[in-house]
Amino acid sequence: MSVPTTIQQGSKGSPVDLAQYELCRSLYLSGPADVDGDFGAHTSQAARSFQDHNLAVDGIIGPVTWGVMLSEHPDPPTLATGSSGSVVSKLQMFLNEAEPPASPALAVDGQYGPLTKAAVEAYQGSAGVPPDGVVGYNTWVIHIGAMNHMVADQVNV
């Protein structure tokens, strides 16, 4: 994967979403509401806190900071209708055991169809994430339980 563009306070867009996802995974941001694609003061402070561990502390996410972030938590896939494979199977297993669990229970077949989409939407809604049926950065960082586990941990992405 190529290194995303350098971003800093005032930046917007998908590289910011990825950085915010990474900062959530490393527990410098708190969850889905912090993944908004807008690199503001809160994200800048989180970036500085992340960098405070053996990086130049400047609040700018450039090649070196990206390299460390992405080595800890690679960019996860975005899952939506039509996606398939082992990550979809793991997501389906998770949704069958989640609170609330998928209803009806999902066949663990690795195919992201209408029932998987409906289960994702229900799960997103229960977690306060806009229910769009797409498993993107803000869904991957939904917290589960008291141990700071996230959906991404449970699906192993």
Within this chain, do residues 151 and 90 fall inside the same structural domain, yes or no?
A: yes
- Domain with 48, as residue range(s), is 14-72
pLDDT of residue 146: 66
114: domain CATH number is: 1.10.101
- Per-residue pLDDT tens digits for 98-156: 988 999 999 999 999 999 999 999 999 999 999 999 999 999 999 997 677 899 999 99
Within this chain, do residues 47 and 106 fall inside the same structural domain, yes or no?
A: no
128 located within any domain: yes
Torsion of CA 85, 130, 105, 97, to 10 degrees: 90
Angle at 132 between CA 131 and CA 136, to 5 degrees: 105
Whether the per-residue pLDDT at 2 is higher than 90: the answer is no
CA pseudo-torsion sign 42, 45, 49, 55:
positive
Token pair 């941990």: residue: 153
Within this chain, do residues 114 and 91 fall inside the same structural domain, yes or no?
A: yes
Contact between 120 and 151 (Cβ < 8 Å): no
CB proximity list for 64: less than 8 A, separation 6 or greater: 55, 56
